[in-house]
Structure 1
C-alpha cells in the first residue's frame, strides 16, 4: 500500500500536549515547494483510549471547529486518561474559503474516503485520516453542522454498523452526547464518508449536525461543547460530570428513512416552506412550493412530503434548482440498542 506523503513534527506517542500541523506537499504555480498546513493537536496522558476529534469536514460548518479550538487551548494533559488526536479544521482549504468543498480541487472531503495518498489535496487528506489516524484510534467524533445550504435541528448522529456489538457501542456513545435529537443517517448508503469509513475500521463513531445556515448558533455551540465532553466522559478519557441532555427529545431515536425522507426541488425558482423545524408532518402532506418570480402568471409548483415524521432539516437559501434538497424529514424508529 502506498504510504501518505504527508508529514508532521508531532509525535503521537509522546505524553503531554503538542500543537502543530499536518503538512501535505503542494507544488502550484506560485509556490513550487509549498505545503498545505492542517492544524493538528495531540494531548496524551495515561493508558486510556485514543479518540480522534474532527471538525471542519466541510468549511462552512463552524460549531465543531470552535469547540475543538477551545479544547486544544483549555485542556491540560493531566486532566485526561488516554490520547486525544484533535483536527479542528481538517479540510483547511475549505475552512479558509468558507465553502463546503475545497477550492483547490472542487472535491467534497466527506465523499472521498478512503482517499488516495497520491491524489489531489482532498484525497490525500482523507487517505491520511483513513490510513494513518484511524489505525491509532478506538473512537472517532466527527462534528458537522448544516452548512450554508441547510438549517438542521442540533442532533447527534448514528452511523449504521453491520456488526451488532459495534453498533451497540456506537449507539451508547451517541446517546451519551446528550443532543436534543438522536438520528440514524446513512447518507443514501454512501460508503465514502468519514464516519462510514471509521465504522469499517471498527471505531466507536459519533457524528453531529449542529444548526447551520452558514452562521454560528450560540445554543448549538453549547450543545456541541457539552456533547464532546459527555462523550469523552463516556469513553473514560475525562472524569468530569456529564452535562444534562439538551431537550426532551433526547430519548427518542429517529432515522432518515431513505430517499422518501428528502423533498427535492423539481423546478428552478424560490422555495417557500410550509413548516418550521420540528413540525410534525405526514406523507402526502404539502411541504412547500416553488415560486417563479419572473413569471408571475405561472402557478407555483407544490412539493409534498414522502414520509411521516418531523421536519429535521430545511434549505436555507430560498433560490433552488432541480435536485436541490428543500426539506428533510426524520421519522421515529425502533431503538435496538
Structure 2
C-alpha cells in the first residue's frame, strides 16, 4: 500500500466535491466539474458519489458506470447507498455508481460528449476533455483516499461474457497476492486474469499503480440486466467487503466457484472479424474449444453468391465471451477464449 508521504501531490483541478469524505455517517452528493457546452455556459457535470463511514477500518472505493451500457455493478452500488446502515461497517465506503456519467445517461459505452472511452483515459488530464477530467479527478483525488478498489464491469452492449471476477496484473508481488485473495473472495463462477494486452490506461491499472487492492468484474452483458449475474455481483461485493474487514457477512455462504484461475492468453485469446457481414457463432459460452477449430462464420447476406468466411480459434481453452450484435465489420471482436493461468498466485 502506498504511504501518504509517497503519494504525489494532486494536479490542480477545477472539480470539487459537495460532501466531506472524512465525516462519519452516510452522505450522498456529487463530484462537480465545471463544464461549459453550447447550451450551458457556466454549468457543471455532476458525478454521483456517496460516502458511508464508521469506526476504524480500510477505505474501499466501488466504481460502476465506467462504461455506460453495463448495469449490474451500478445497481449493486446503488443498493448499498440506499440500504446500508453506517453502523454496520468498520471503515469507509466511497460509492460511485456512474463515473462515466454522460455515457451512463446515454446507455452507451463511450461518452456522447467527447467520444472517449473513460476506461482508456487514465490517469486523465485535469485540463482535458470532460472524460479526461473525470478520470483525472478519480486518479488524483479519489484513489489516494482508498485501500481497495472494486471496478464493476459487464460485457456491455457488444459482448456477452461468463460472469467472472477479474485479477488486474501488477509487477508488485505482494499486491498481486492481495489482489488474487480478494478476487477469489468475490467467488464468481470464474476467476480470470485480464491484462487488456498490457493496456495501462484502465481504472484497475491505475488503482494497482496507486497500491490499492484491486478487484474487477465482468458480469454477463449483452446490453441487458442479467438476474443471475446481478445475484453474483451483489453476493460477490459483500464477500469482498467481508474479506477486507469492512462489512461482516451475517451468514457466510458456501463457496460456489471451482477455485480455478484462467487468463486471456494474449492476442490468441481473441477471434476478430475479417470481413463485413453477419457473424454466426458455432459454440455457446463455456464450451471447451481448441486452436485451429472452426469458431464461426461471417455471412454477406446482401451478396448470396459469396461463400461465408469461416473464422478459427487461435487458443485452447473455454469460450469466455461472444459478440452480441450479429452485424460485424473487420476488426470487431467476435469471440474470446480463456485458458488456464500460467502465472503464480502467491
Normalised-by-shorter TM-score class: over 0.9
* Contact 2:18 2:32 survives alignment (8 Å): no
The alpha carbon displacement at 1:134 in A equals 0.8
Distance 1:175 1:280 in 2: 22
| Aligned equivalent of 1:77 | 86
CA deviations on 1:269-298 (whole Å, 9 max, x unpaired) are: 000000000000000000000001011111
| Aligned equivalent of 2:229 | 220
One of 207, 226, 244 as aligned partner of 2:254: 244
Pairing 1:255–2:263 present? yes
* Contact 1:226 1:243 survives alignment (8 Å): no
| Aligned equivalent of 2:5 | none
One of 299, 305, 314 as aligned partner of 1:306: 314
One of 284, 287, 294 as aligned partner of 2:292: 284
Pairing 1:180–2:155 present? no
One of 109, 123, 126 as aligned partner of 1:100: 109
- The residue correspondences of 1:182-201 to structure 2 (distance < 5 A) are 182-201=191-210
Runs of 4+ in 1 over 6 A off after TM superposition: none
CA deviations on 1:141-185 (whole Å, 9 max, x unpaired) are: 000000000000000000001111110000000000010000000
The alpha carbon displacement at 1:19 in A equals 0.5
SS for the counterpart of 2:36 is strand
The alpha carbon displacement at 1:223 in A equals 0.2
* Contact 2:291 2:316 survives alignment (8 Å): yes
Q: TM-score, normalised by structure 1?
A: 0.98
One of 211, 218, 238 as aligned partner of 1:209: 218
- The residue correspondences of 1:154-173 to structure 2 (distance < 5 A) are 154-173=163-182
Q: TM-score, normalised by structure 2?
A: 0.95
SS for the counterpart of 1:143 is strand
Distance 1:9 1:101 in 2: 26
CA deviations on 1:193-239 (whole Å, 9 max, x unpaired) are: 00001001100000000000010000100000000000000000011
* Ranges in structure 2 where 5+ consecutive residues have no aligned partner: 1-9
* Ranges in structure 1 where 5+ consecutive residues have no aligned partner: none
The alpha carbon displacement at 1:29 in A equals 1.2
SS for the counterpart of 1:242 is coil
Distance 1:222 1:146 in 2: 16
